[in-house]
Amino acid sequence: MPSNKSVSDAPIARFTNCRILRGRRLQREDLWVREGKILNPEKLFFDEKGSADVQLDCKGCILAPGFIDVQINGGFGVDFSLATDDFGSGIDLVSQKILSHGVTSFCPTLVTSPPSVYHQVLPQISVRNGGPHGAGILAGAHLEGPFISKEKKGAHPEHCIRTFEENAFQDLLATYGSLDCVRIVTLAPEIKRSSEVIQELTKRGICVSLGHSVANLSQAEEAVQHGATFITHLFNAMLPFHHRDPGIVGLLTSDKIPAGRRVFYGMISDGIHTNPAALRIAHRAHPKGMVLVTDAIAGMGLAPGRHTLGQQVVEIDGLNTYIAGTKTLSGSVATMDTCVRHFLEATGCSVETALEAASLHPAQLLGIEDKKGTLNYDSDADFLMLDDSLHVQATYIAGEEVWRRDVLDM
C-alpha cells in the first residue's frame, strides 16, 4: 500500500509481533507510532491510505505504558534533598539511569528540609519532556513535608518539622519559596489549619497527599472532602489499622468520599516496607487506587554502605535502608521494575493490573491520563518492551528508543 503524506511527512513506525496493554487487557495487535503519538491504524489506512515506513519485530514481547514514579528521593548517588550548585546534573543522571528500569516520567521528591533547601532546590526543577537524555519530569516536584507529625516522622529530621501558623498558606509559601514547579505536597491532615492549606493547594492544581500522620479516619475523610486525593506510602508512617478507628487506612473503603472522586494510595512494593499480606489487603480493598512508588533514596543502584537522605545519614544493609545507628526505615533502594514484579508475585494479580499500578494509576492521580499511562490512540508514545517475567527489554519515549538491554545482559 503506498504511503500518503497528505496529513504528515513524519515517518510511521509499526511494532509487530507483540501484545499491547490497552483497554486493561493484553491484546495481540500492532502498535503504530508517528510524531511521538500512538496512531489509530484504521484512520491511517482508510483516511490517509498510509502505511508504515519502519517496521520493528518485537519478538513476542509485551508493550506497556512507561512507568511513572511519583515518589523518588534520588538514586545513583544523587539526593534531591541536598542543595548543591550542580543539582541539575544530578537530576539529569537519575533521569537517565531510571530509563533502564522502565521509568519514563517521575516527580523528584524532597523530604522534610529547612526552608533554605527548598528555596535553593525548587528553582532548579523544571517540567520537561523525556527523551534520550532521560525520563521526563512530567508535572513537577513532590514535597514530602515539612508539615507532618513528629510522632510519625519516620526518616524525616524532627528539627525541620513545622506546623501552620495563623496565616497557614502564606506560611507554606514562605517555607517553600515557590509552588511554580510543585505537583504533590504530603502533609498531616490533623495539623491545625491544614484544611485551609489543602483547599488552597487544590485550587492551584496541586495534588495533596496524606502521610506521616496520626490522623484518625474522620480527619482523613475531612481532608479528602477538602480536596486531598492521595495517601503517601500506605501503612508506613501512619497509625496502624484499628477496627474501631482505621485511621488513614480506612479511606480505602470509606463511604464518605465525594461522588466522582477517587482516593489513590502509594505503596512501596519492595518486600521490606510492606508485608505481602498487607499488599494483598490493600489491593483487594481498593484495586483501582493502587499506585506503586519506589521511595528510592540516593543509595539506589549503589553498593551497601552510608549515604544521605536530606539532612540524615542512612545505612544500606542488603535491601534494607535505615537511619544510621537505628532500625528506622528510610526510603528504599528498590527500582520500579522490581516493585512491579514483587507486586505481581505477592498479590497474584494479573500482569495487566501490575503494570497499570505503575502507569495508568499514577497518570490518573496526576490528571494526565489523556496523554500518559496508556497506549490509547493519540496518547504519548512512551512505552516499554517487556518479557513475560516483566523484565524491561527496551524503553521508548515519544516513540524513540532511549534504552535497550544489551544482549550480554540477557
Residue 162 annotated as part of some ligand binding site: no
Residue 26 annotated as part of some ligand binding site: no
Tell me the C-alpha to C-alpha distance, in Å, between residue 42 and each of 49, 50, 127, 377.
9, 10, 34, 11
Taking each helix axis as running N to C, give the angle between helix 217-225 and helix 194-203, from 0 to 180 degrees, rounded to the nearest 10: 30
Residue 307 annotated as part of some ligand binding site: no
Tell me the C-alpha to C-alpha distance, in Å, between residue 93 and each of 79, 90, 143, 410.
11, 5, 20, 24
Integer Cα distance of 397 and 240 in angstroms: 40
Residue 24 annotated as part of some ligand binding site: no
Residue 233 annotated as part of some ligand binding site: yes
Integer Cα distance of 66 and 61 in angstroms: 14
DSSP state letter for 3 = -
- Neighbour count for residue 22 (Cβ, 10 Å): 20
- Neighbour count for residue 229 (Cβ, 10 Å): 23
Integer Cα distance of 155 and 321 in angstroms: 10
In the residue annotation, 47 being an active-site residue is answered as no
Residue 244 annotated as part of some ligand binding site: yes
Residue 342 annotated as part of some ligand binding site: no
Q: Out of 69, 295, 337, 380, which one is annotated catalytic?
A: 295
Taking each helix axis as running N to C, give the angle between helix 336-347 and helix 276-285, from 0 to 180 degrees, rounded to the nearest 10: 80
Buried b (16+ CB within 10 A) or exposed e, 318-348: eebbbbeeeeebbbbbbbbbbbbbbbbebbe
Residue 358 annotated as part of some ligand binding site: no
Integer Cα distance of 318 and 321 in angstroms: 8
Residue 318 annotated as part of some ligand binding site: no
Tell me the C-alpha to C-alpha distance, in Å, between residue 238 and each of 130, 210, 400.
34, 9, 41
Residue 131 annotated as part of some ligand binding site: no
Integer Cα distance of 153 and 267 in angstroms: 17
User: What pairs with residue 307 in β-bridges?
Assistant: 314
Tell me the C-alpha to C-alpha distance, in Å, between residue 98 and each of 73, 215, 230, 269, 279.
13, 34, 24, 17, 24
> Binding site for substrate: which residues?
155, 236-237, 244, 273, 329-331
> Binding site for Zn(2+): which residues?
144, 212, 233
Point out the residues that are catalytic: 295
> Binding site: which residues?
144, 155, 212, 233, 236-237, 244, 273, 329-331
